[in-house]
Amino acid sequence: MAKKPNSWQKVGIQAKFRRFLVFVGVILLILFILNTFLHVFTIGQFFKKPLSKDVSSEMQGANWNGKTKLVIVFDTNPLTVAVFDPKNKRVDAIIIDRETRSDMPYSYGWNRLGAVRDLGNLDNGTKGNSLLVDTMAKFLQTPVDGFVIVHDDAWQSLDAQKITDGVRSFSSVKTFPKIISSKDWQSRFETNLTKFDVLRLWWGLRGVRSDKVIITDLSREGLLTDILLPDGSHGFGPEEVSIAAFSKKVFFDDLISQEKLNIEVLNGTDTPGIASNVARLVENVGGNVVRVANSEVENKDLCAIRASKANTSKYTTLRLAKALRCDIEEVQTGGDESQADLTILVGRDLIGRF
C-alpha cells in the first residue's frame, strides 16, 4: 500500500507546482511581448513603405511629420504643385502649363515641363519620377517632398473647381479604408508617399475649408516670361526674380525661421554659381544665410552639412539634409559667436540638380 505524503511534503509539492506555473506564465508573457513587438514592427514597416511599388531609392517616402508644410507635385494637365500648411489649415495649389519651358537638371537642357517624365524614362525607365521632383524643385527654388502620378482619367485634367472638390473628396471618411487597403490606389495613382504620409495628410485636410484652398496659375500672375531658347525659338519660362519672391511667400517654413540658425553655403566644386542657387533655396524656406563663398575643400564629391553636436538634431539641419540629400557631419566649434551654426558644403553631386 502506497504511503501518503505528509503535510510537509504536500507543501513542497504545491510550492514546486506554483513555481512551475510562474515559470510557464513568464515564458508565455515573453512570447506574447515578442509577438506583439514583431507584429507592431511589421505594421510599422508596412505603413512606412511607399504606396506604390518600384519607387527609386532616393525617392523612398516623404516621411512627413504632419506638422510642417508638405509639397507634392502632381503630374496632371496642367501640372499642379500642392502645398499643405497644417498650421494654418491651408492648401496652395500652383498650376503650371505643361508647355512651360524650364532649364532642367542633369544637363537635359531647356525642355517642356510636360515632357520631364518621358525624358527621365528614356534611359532605363526609372528616373522619370525623380527627375520630375528635381525639375520642379529647381523651377520653384524650393524642396519638393513627393510626387503623385495620376493614371485615373477622371483626375488627369484639373481646374480650380476640381482641385477644391478633390481636397474635400480626399478628406472624407470614405477615403480612409481606401488608404488602408491601397489596392484601389495602386491602379489609379503612383506615388512615393507612404501610408503614414497619406494618413496624416487625410487627417490634416479634414479641417481645411474651401476658402482656404488657394489656386495660383503662374501664367496669370506675371511669374512667367517670354524667353529665347537655345534653338532660336521662343517660349514661356520662369521669371527668376518673381518666382523667388513667390516661393519665399508660399514655401516659407516657420520652424526653420524660428530656430534662427546662421547658415553659410560654401562651394566645394569648380562650378561657379551653384552655391548661390543652393543658398536661394535655403532662404526661400526660411533659412538665415549669412555667407556664400568658395570652400577651401575643392572637388568634393558629395555635399555635407556640418554642425555642432547640439545642432545636428535641429529641425533645420534635418530638413535641409533631406532636401539636398546631404550627409550630416558633426564638427567641433571654437566658440566664435560670428561663426555659422550650419555649414552647407556643396559637392559635385549637386551640380546637376542646381
User: Cell for 68?
Assistant: 510642417
> Among residues 119, 117, 137, 103, which one has the least CA distance to residue 322?
137
Distance CA 33, CA 25 (A): 12
User: Cell for 158?
Assistant: 484639373
57-237 topology per CATH? Nucleotidyltransferase; domain 5 (3.30.420)
> Among residues 122, 136, 127, 134, which one has the least CA distance to residue 76?
136
Please give the angle made by the CA atoms of 27, 31 and 34, to the nearest 5 degrees: 140
Distance CA 108, CA 105 (A): 6
pLDDT tens string, the chain, 354 residues long: the values are 555 555 655 556 666 767 777 777 777 777 667 655 544 444 444 555 665 565 555 555 567 888 899 999 999 999 999 999 999 999 999 999 999 999 899 888 889 999 999 998 886 666 888 899 999 999 999 999 999 988 888 888 888 899 999 898 888 888 777 776 666 666 788 888 888 888 889 889 988 999 999 999 998 888 999 888 778 888 889 988 899 999 999 999 999 999 999 999 999 998 999 999 999 999 999 999 999 999 887 778 899 999 999 999 999 999 999 999 999 999 886 545 557 999 999 999 998 888
Q: Omega into 143 within 30° of 0, i.e. cis? A: no
Please give the angle made by the CA atoms of 228, 232 and 235, to the nearest 5 degrees: 40
Residue 89 backbone dihedrals phi, psi, to 5 degrees:
50, 60
Helices (H), 49-110: none
Cα radius of gyration rounded to whole Å, the chain = 27
Distances, alpha carbon 206 to alpha carbons 16, 30, 272, 340, in Å: 59, 41, 46, 40
Query: For residues 128 and 116, is the Cβ–Cβ distance under 8 A?
Result: yes
Domain ranges of the chain: 57-237, 252-350
252-350 topology per CATH? Alpha-Beta Plaits (3.30.70)
Residue at grid coordinates 508638405: 70
User: Cell for 242?
Assistant: 518673381
The DSSP result for 167-219, as a single string, is HHHHTSTTHHHHHHH-HHHHHHEEES-BHHHHHHHHHHHTT--GGGEEEEEGG
Query: For residues 149 and 188, is the Cβ–Cβ distance under 8 A?
Result: no
Instruction: Check residue 310 and report its DSSP letter.
Output: H
